[in-house]
Structure 1
Amino acid sequence: MNLSQSDWKKQLNEDNNAVILDVRTQQEWEEGIIPNAILNDIYKGQGFIYKLEELDKSKNYYVYCKAGARSSQACNIMKQMGFENTYNLDGGFMNWKGEVSIPEN
């Protein structure tokens, strides 16, 4: 499900079963993230799938990339794998007005 920036942020803040998933590249990740996000680069192909298989399908996943296309694709893949609740950040990180942090290496 695609959510606007404001709806994604509001719903995320009210969700105590939330996981934030960043599907960008390592290089994009290092430029800044939405706090508490976990990285799973969709360009890693089968590696991306393996990491998804390790995740708890009962959680609610808030997924983002730079502009919203990769995260939309990731949500579709996750749905096919049995994840019930995935929320794509419409417009992606480049339009994010919320808090940003620099990930620790």
Structure 2
Amino acid sequence: MFNFFRTQPKNYTDLNSEDFKKGMTAADAVLIDVRSAGEFQSGKIKGARNIDITSGNFMNQIQNLPKDKKYYLYCRSGNRSGQACSIMANQGFENIYNLGDGIMGWPYDIV
């Protein structure tokens, strides 16, 4: 009766800060901040690389990433990084993790 509420299942995993921090330290983990360059410069999680989801070359940048790694993505609140996770999953990436509360909910050091 209410089929219009049906949504696609997520093709990535939302993590809390603790699980995200544990995972991002793995040898095959890649930490990606999908915020703008200005946001990235204002403070980031140590070790993150910046691939801005709103830039025109986001797709080109992710297409060059190896698919055998584990990707840990974050943004300010978890929304843009969730979108980026979905895009990456649709491009064939399998191990994609989103910081559910974003950097705003990150209780650890920011550099």
Q: Does TM, scored on the shorter chain, surpass 0.5?
A: yes
Aligned pair count reads 99
How far does the alpha carbon of each residue in 1:34-83 deviate from its partner, in whole angstroms, 9 at most, with x for none? 111110100114x0000001111111000000000000000000000011
State which of 26, 47, 63 in structure 1 corresponds to 2:37: 26
State which of 45, 53, 57 in structure 2 corresponds to 1:42: 53
Give the secondary-structure state (helix, strand or coil) at the position aligned to 1:71: helix
Q: Find the counterpart in structure 1 of residue 19 from structure 2.
A: 7
Supply the AA of the counterpart residue of 1:40: I
- What is the alpha-carbon distance in structure 1 between the residues aligned to residue 22 and residue 48 of structure 2? 16
State the Cα RMSD in Å: 0.9
Q: Could you list the runs of 5+ residues in structure 2 that have no partner in the other structure?
A: 1-12
**TM-score, L = length of structure 1:** 0.90
Structure number with larger C-alpha Rg: 2
Shift of 1:2: 0.3
